[in-house]
């Protein structure tokens, strides 16, 4: 039976102080806004608990009344799974504390912390941790499904930072995740319950040499193949762990279609950082260079300025493929789909590659890709609604062409997987163990809107 607003009456009396937003509430649209707008779904209500006890009571209530439940933090899921139709959405953004513990080796963070909240707090004591390339992404949603980013060579992926977690299960019970559940959370975080807090590794690092290089349009139209060949050579030579590089092609407001490199030198040894920067500057004619010594929090905030704001359109969902290298066939596909890139500022392809610490997990983990690989994200969002179909078609053709290559790995990065690809492929040898964990911790698949595709059916 479809739930309706009368189903919430008991919740209001059970938790009179709980912040509840229903569609009739003036703030509802602002609270409900997801990174992808225009998704024709309307949650039954959004609740904003301020403690793990409130989360527990909400989940217990939803379970008793059989109300579909979803969890939301940064709202970046590109398929809208954090704001589904007629679901009760538990929005954790008011649980955003950051406590530094263990003599500065770790931090306990609230389940609703956004990357920027975390970077701002860590900066006060000269600390850092691994981050993705978005200030508004939820840290738990990013870290627990993989967590690629520019610090991965030095610190590892997001999953490698997770030391502990407190979870609210489908009955509303709150507990510390045991080792087996932590293995599941490090790769399939959203499948088992609400993660109300996590203990993560932190490190001493105050400043980085970072930001973006944009190469001329010629590099895209004529020289992309050459650029990628030289870039691959650099990767083959072995780049330092401190060096984070992300390369992609997007449409820029002034430069138009251009090749860019997000550069990160995560060390205070600036002499070595400038040598690494010079190597990237030599790869093509530069039209914009914003690389400078900055704090991590400033670096993240600056990324936000170049990221399309919440409310982009998406007709196809995202896609991504994992390939071993930029070999001839991969480069051919990148050149072809770069030439056909729709002219919208939110449509792009971008790579992340695993090196250094990202290849050497120290903690048991269900994230499967620990061989050297390049993850090519194919993002078909659009700022202009009329462009959504063209961008979506581009994503589907690009994904299909890249998947047809024999060297493309099975599956992909789960949070950016095209809906046509079975999520099981992303977890490879971990799938059966994860399904058993799912059956144990969420036997009725209460957390069915998880991005993992796990349902506990073995």
- Smallest gap from Cβ 83 to ligand FAD, in A, equals 8
451 binds ligand FAD, rule: CB under 6 A = yes
411 binds ligand FAD (CB under 6 A): no
Query: In the set 194, 213, 245, 296, which binds ligand FAD (CB under 6 A)?
Result: 194
Which position among 142, 183, 398, 441 is part of the footprint of ligand FAD (CB under 6 A)?
A: 142
Q: Does 111 bind ligand FAD (CB under 6 A)?
A: yes
**Between residues 250 and 280, which has the closer beta carbon with respect to ligand FAD?**
250
| C-alpha distance from residue 100 to each of 95, 267, 296, 315 (Å) | 16, 21, 17, 42
Contact 156, 361 (CB under 8 A): yes
Residue 184 found at the interface with ligand FAD (CB under 6 A): no
The alpha carbon of residue 177 and the mean position of all alpha carbons in its chain are separated, in whole angstroms, by 22
Q: Is 345 in the site for ligand FAD (CB under 6 A)?
A: no
Does 349 engage in binding with ligand FAD (CB under 6 A)?
no
Tokens of 112: 């609703």
Q: Hey, how many other C-beta atoms are within 10 angstroms of the C-beta on 27?
A: 10
Measuring CA to CA, which residue among 118, 200, 119 is closest to residue 158? 200
335 vs 413, beta carbon nearer ligand FAD: 413
How many CB atoms lie under 10 A from the CB of residue 333?
Answer: 19
Residue selected from 7, 52, 54, 77 as contacting ligand FAD according to rule CB under 6 A? 77
Tokens of 427: 């977890």
Does 195 sit near ligand FAD (CB under 6 A)? yes
Residues 304-343 interacting with ligand FAD (rule: CB under 6 A): 307
Give the burial class of 163: count Cβ atoms within 10 A of its Cβ; 0-12 exposed, 13-18 middle, 19 or more buried. middle
Q: Which of 96, 127, 145, 207 binds ligand FAD (CB under 6 A)?
A: 145
| Cα 226 to Cα 255: distance, rounded to the nearest angstrom | 20
In the set 49, 56, 68, 74, which binds ligand FAD (CB under 6 A)? 74
C-beta atoms surrounding 204 within 10 Å:
11
Contact flag: residue 161 with ligand FAD (CB under 6 A): no
Cα angle at 194 between 189 and 127, to 5 degrees? Answer: 65
**Phi/psi of residue 415, each to 5°?**
-75, -15
Q: Residue 426 interacts with ligand FAD (CB under 6 A)?
A: no
Question: Residue 406: CB partners within 8 Å, gap ≥ 6?
Answer: none
Q: Which is nearer to ligand FAD, 246 or 283 (CB)?
A: 246
φ, ψ at 365 (rounded to 5°): -155, 140
- Return the residue of 47, 62, 73, 224 that touches ligand FAD, per CB under 6 A: 73
Q: Minimum CB separation from ligand FAD for residue 35, in Å?
A: 5
- 87 belongs to the binding site for ligand FAD (CB under 6 A): no
Q: How near is the Cβ of 189 to ligand FAD at its closest, in Å?
A: 6
Name the one residue in this structure whose structure tokens are 């163990």.
433
Is 369 one of the binding residues for ligand FAD (CB under 6 A)? no
Helical spans, DSSP H, in 295-387 = 296-305, 328-339
Please, what's the largest Cα pairwise distance for the chain?
Answer: 65
Told to check if 132 binds ligand FAD by CB under 6 A, we report yes
Sheet holding 194-201, edge to edge: 98-101, 106-110, 194-201, 162-168, 174-176
Q: Which is nearer to ligand FAD, 223 or 262 (CB)?
A: 262
In the list 21, 61, 148, 326, the residue contacting ligand FAD (rule: CB under 6 A) is 148
Residues that bind ligand FAD (CB under 6 A): 35, 70-78, 81-82, 92, 111, 132-134, 137-138, 140-142, 145-149, 190, 194-195, 307, 415, 449-451
């Amino acid at each position: 039976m479809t739930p309706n607003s009368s189903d919430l009456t008991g919740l209001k009396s059970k938790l009179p102080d709980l912040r509840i937003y229903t569609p009739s509430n003036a703030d509802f649209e602002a609270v409900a806004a997801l990174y992808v707008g225009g998704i024709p779904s309307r949650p039954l209500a959004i609740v904003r608990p301020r403690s793990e006890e409130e989360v527990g009571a909400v989940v217990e209530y939803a379970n008793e009344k059989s109300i579909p439940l979803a969890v939301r933090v940064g709202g970046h899921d590109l398929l809208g799974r954090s704001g589904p139709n007629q679901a009760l959405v538990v929005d954790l953004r008011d649980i955003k504390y950051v406590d530094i513990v263990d003599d500065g080796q770790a931090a306990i963070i609230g389940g609703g912390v956004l990357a920027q909240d975390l970077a701002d707090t860590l900066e006060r004591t000269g600390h850092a941790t691994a981050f993705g390339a978005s200030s508004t992404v939820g840290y738990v949603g990013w870290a627990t499904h993989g967590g690629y980013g520019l610090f991965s060579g030095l610190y590892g992926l997001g999953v490698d930072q997770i030391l502990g977690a407190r979870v609210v299960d489908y009955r509303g019970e709150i507990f510390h995740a045991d080792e087996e559940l932590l293995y599941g959370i490090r790769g399939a975080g959203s499948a088992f319950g609400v993660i109300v807090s996590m203990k993560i590794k932190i490190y001493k690092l105050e400043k980085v040499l970072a930001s973006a290089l944009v190469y001329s349009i010629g590099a895209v139209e004529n020289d992309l193949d050459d650029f990628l060949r030289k870039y691959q050579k650099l990767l083959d030579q072995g780049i330092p762990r401190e060096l984070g590089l992300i390369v992609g092609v997007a449409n820029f407001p002034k430069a138009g279609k251009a090749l860019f490199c997000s550069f990160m030198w995560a060390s205070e040894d600036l002499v070595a950082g400038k040598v690494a920067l010079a190597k990237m500057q030599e790869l093509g004619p530069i039209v914009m260079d914003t690389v400078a010594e900055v704090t991590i929090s400033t670096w993240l905030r600056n990324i936000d300025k170049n990221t399309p704001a919440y409310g982009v359109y998406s007709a196809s969902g995202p896609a991504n493929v994992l390939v071993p290298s930029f070999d001839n066939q991969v480069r051919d596909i990148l050149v072809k789909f770069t030439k056909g890139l729709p002219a919208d500022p939110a449509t792009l392809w971008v790579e992340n590659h695993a090196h250094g610490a990202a290849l050497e997990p120290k903690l048991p983990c269900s994230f499967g890709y620990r061989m050297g690989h390049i993850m090519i994200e194919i993002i078909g969002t659009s700022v202009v609604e009329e462009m959504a179909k063209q961008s979506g078609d581009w994503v589907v053709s690009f994904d299909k062409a890249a998947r047809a290559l024999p060297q493309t790995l099975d599956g992909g990065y789960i949070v950016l997987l095209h809906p046509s690809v079975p999520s099981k492929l992303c977890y490879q040898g971990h799938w059966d163990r994860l399904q058993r964990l799912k059956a144990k911790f969420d036997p009725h698949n209460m957390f069915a809107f998880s991005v993992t595709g796990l349902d506990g059916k073995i």
